[in-house]
Amino acid sequence: MSFILLGILNSQAAAGAVGAVSAGYVAGGQSTGGVTLDSIDKFAYPSDTRSVLAATLSRESSQGGGLSNAQVAGYKIGGYDDVNASEYLDVIDKITVPADTRTTLAATLSVARSTRGASNSGSFGYAMGGEAAPRPSYKDTVDKLTYSTDTITTLATGLSTARLQGFGFEDTGVAGYNAGGEIATGTLVTTVDKFDFANDSRSTLATGISTARRLGGAFNNAGVAGYVAGGLSGSGDVSTVDKFAFPSDTRSTLATGLTGTDRPRGFQNDGVAGYAAGGASTTTIVNKFDFPSDSRSTLGTGLSAGRNAAQTFEA
């Protein structure tokens, strides 16, 4: 009897584990001809089938960030709208599951900007750094969105260096990371900042990403590793995928990088796979990296429209 009870409890714990999600979302982005989108693609797990939501973003947006509160909602934070007055956004859109309805929060980012996100599912998420007006204005600001109240505060400690177009990933329950990007001198960096979710304190990893770059994507496998995929280096686009093992934060580089895309945005299904979607050539390709093997495949059905610099999240 005790063994049966233990099995039931273990199954319940697995089913309710923090980070368990039912779908990944790719929202907005810039498509062919520089057209910025407001549409939202949804990839249902585990089939990876794609649909397009009836709901759209409140504004056409690219270069924003994504935050995830598993089984509750995903958020699109900030971004840039070059359709309406070419402006940076402070808007936060919320997609509530399972209905996939969109609302726009009363709360806004402290500074209207492009940004990247890192999520502590069930609790809060960070909007880290980015670019604001007048263009380019580099920001070290880190805003914190508390999920229970949908309110914004700003951390006393920002990024170690103001920068734009870095990579955001997380180890849910532990820390959020901001990797790489471009600083105000126009220099690309390998720096990886780490924010402890317990107290919002910042440290900087001893080992950064393998190549200084910006404009790529990131995904993670909670409790196991975070991945930095693709991007634009000083010598051009790269297909490299770096892997940071948790909790040591040691870095390795996957033997197999991206295919058919070089500046994607990432999302994940923790414990199952990470995804790198779209890219600089406004491709529809979605690469999938299975966990724990890190083997790469390409989804049979990609994005509904080619796009780069989309906002991605899970819920």
Q: What's residue 44's pLDDT?
A: 98
* Residue labelled with tokens 């209207």: 112
Note the pLDDT tens digit of each residue in 70-92: 999 999 999 999 877 679 999 99
User: What's the predicted TM-score (pTM) here?
Assistant: 0.93
Q: What's residue 85's pLDDT?
A: 65
Mean pLDDT, the chain, whole residue set: 93
Domain range summary for the chain, segments of one domain joined by +? 2-314
Q: Quick one: 278 exposed, middle or buried, by C-beta within 10 A (0-12, 13-18, 19+)?
A: buried
Q: How far apart are CA 109 and CA 129, in angstroms?
A: 11
Q: What's residue 19's pLDDT?
A: 62
Helix (H, G, I), strand (E, B) or coil at 114: strand
Q: How far apart are CA 96 and CA 18, in angstroms?
A: 17
Note the pLDDT tens digit of each residue in 144-155: 999 999 999 999
Q: Give the residues across from 175 on adjacent strands.
A: 171, 196
Q: What is the dihedral of CA 223, 229, 233, 235, to 10 degrees?
A: 130
**C-beta of residue 309 within 8 angstroms of C-beta of residue 265:** yes
Query: Could you read off the pLDDT tens digit of each residue along the chain, which spans 315 residues?
Result: 343 333 333 333 333 345 689 999 999 999 988 889 999 999 999 999 999 999 999 999 999 999 999 999 999 999 999 877 679 999 999 999 999 999 999 999 999 999 999 999 999 999 999 999 998 899 999 999 999 999 999 999 999 999 999 999 999 999 999 999 999 999 999 999 999 999 999 999 999 999 999 999 999 999 999 999 999 999 999 999 999 999 999 999 999 999 988 899 999 999 999 999 999 888 999 999 999 999 999 999 999 999 999 999 999
Q: What's residue 68's pLDDT?
A: 98
Q: What's residue 34's pLDDT?
A: 82
CATH tag for 2-314 (out of 3.90.660.10, 3.10.450.50, 2.120.10.80, 1.10.357.10) = 2.120.10.80
Q: What's residue 285's pLDDT?
A: 97
Q: How far apart are CA 231 and CA 5, in angstroms?
A: 48
